[in-house]
Structure formats: structure tokens, C-alpha cells
Amino acid sequence: MRHLAHTFLTPHARHRALQNLQAFLAEAAIPSPCPSKTKKHLFSTSSPSTSSPNGQTPFHLLDRVFVKGMPFFARHGVHRAEAELGQRFLVDAEVFLRGLGQSVLAEEGRGTSSPSAPPPDDVSRTIDYGRIYDVARGVVQDGPRAQLVETLATRIADALLRENGSSHSPPFSVVGARVKVTKPGAPIEGVFGEAGCEVVRWRE
């Protein structure tokens, strides 16, 4: 691949191609073909952009519970017609939990569950799908009107983070949330697939 890059690409394009190749190999944990320019692994706990805020759990080891494609009809938007006529919004919500899967497997295999704790295979060990849906609906369909989908996405993410340690399921620990809000009928003069906003929020 390096030989092909030297043959067909300009010096600037060749440099960019080698940078992209090194980034891909680092992400896949494959040894780099350029040992003198080694990079940290994408999921290193020392990288603040890929770890949970407290640096304890690498991003790729966090458990995730998600509900996608939730449709809600509401009257959010900047334009007057959006407020009067309303439109459909689609919400994808994802919640990050710490250590859920590992603790379940350990307790099931070794019988280490505390007598006072709920069984490993119990819904109280995690955030319920229905709760994620209720939070999204409460913001988009039942909540106050917003002009921006960014506002809706942030409100949903913040509400999901507050589920941590709630009365619904005390044992689980929510550490982050990713929310995407899409407007299929966004007032754009042109052909497009989808328009919206995605936010990621971590507990401080």
C-alpha cells in the first residue's frame, strides 16, 4: 500500500493517506507499518476523548442500552408553520452503563450475588427500555416547545443522566447518554436524506 501511495499520489496526498492508514491500524490494534510514528490505542484509558470522564472505564468497555427510531409528533421549530402545523420527529437514544454485563456474568457463574441484591438477570439491574421511551416522549411530545433540535437532544440526554440512582432501578449506574433527534420534514429547499442533531453527554 505504501508503494502504491508513492506511485500514484502527490506528496501531500501521500502524507494524508499514510496518516489515515496509521489511524486505522491504531484503531484496529494492528502494529503500525511506521514504527517511528507509533500512536496511542484509540481506546486508551489515558485519552480523555475516548474514556468516561473519570478515566476509570474505557469507552469500548461501557455497556449500552438503546432505543432507536422513536417517532413523536410535535410543534418544535424556528418557522411559524412548524409551530402551527407540527411535524414528525425521530429520536434515537442510547444510555451508557458501567460494568453491567461483567457483573451479571460473574454473579451468574460464581453465585456471588448478595442476598439483599436483585438477581443478576433482573430488569432492576439496568435501565428499562420503556423508561428511555418515556423520557424521550416527555421531552419531545409533552415538553415545552423548542426552536432547535439541539435543545431537544440536550434535554433528553440530561434527563437520561438523571436516571442514575433513581427510584426506578437503584443498582445500575448511568455514566453517559447519546441522543439523536431527526426532522424528516425539515424545511430545506432541496433533496436530502435526513437532518437533525446528535449530542453526547457524560456525568460530571
pLDDT at 125: 75
- Residues 33 and 67 both lie in one domain: no
CATH of the domain at 64: 3.30.1130.10
- Residues 84 and 184 both lie in one domain: yes
- Residues 91 and 121 both lie in one domain: yes
**Domain membership flag for residue 53:** no
**At 27, is the secondary structure helix, strand, or coil?**
helix
pLDDT of 122 > 50? The answer is yes
Q: Enter the pTM of the model.
A: 0.65
Mean pLDDT over the full length of the chain: 75
- Per residue in 61-115, pLDDT (tens digit) is 688 999 999 999 999 999 999 899 999 999 999 999 876 655 555 555 555 555 5
pLDDT of 163 > 80? The answer is yes
Side-chain half-sphere exposure of 41, counting CA atoms within 13 A: 12
Nearest 5°: phi and psi at 15? -65, -45
**Domain membership flag for residue 184:** yes
**Domain membership flag for residue 194:** yes
Instruction: Tell me the mean pLDDT in the region 125-145.
Output: 93
pLDDT of 152 > 80? The answer is yes
Higher pLDDT, 156 or 169: 156
- Per-residue b or e along 60-73, where b marks 16 or more CB atoms closer than 10 Å to that residue's CB: eebbebebeebebe
Nearest 5°: phi and psi at 112? -95, 5
**Domain membership flag for residue 45:** no
- Residues 162 and 106 both lie in one domain: yes
pLDDT of 30 > 50? The answer is no
**Smallest Cα–Cα separation from 67: which of 88, 97, 91?**
91
Q: Give 38's pLDDT tier (boundaries 50, 70, 90).
A: very low
d(CA 63, CA 101): 7
- Residues 29 and 67 both lie in one domain: no
Number of compact structural domains in the chain: 2
**Domain membership flag for residue 48:** no
**Domain membership flag for residue 10:** yes
- Backbone CA torsion sign across 194, 70, 137, 122: negative
pLDDT at 168: 46
- Residues 79 and 167 both lie in one domain: yes
Domain that holds residue 172: 59-202
- Residues 79 and 177 both lie in one domain: yes
- Residues 91 and 170 both lie in one domain: yes
Q: Percent of the chain beyond pLDDT 70? A: 55
- Per residue in 8-17, pLDDT (tens digit) is 556 666 667 6
One-letter amino acid for residue 163 of the chain: E
Question: Given the C-alpha cell 433482573, which residue does it identify?
Answer: 122
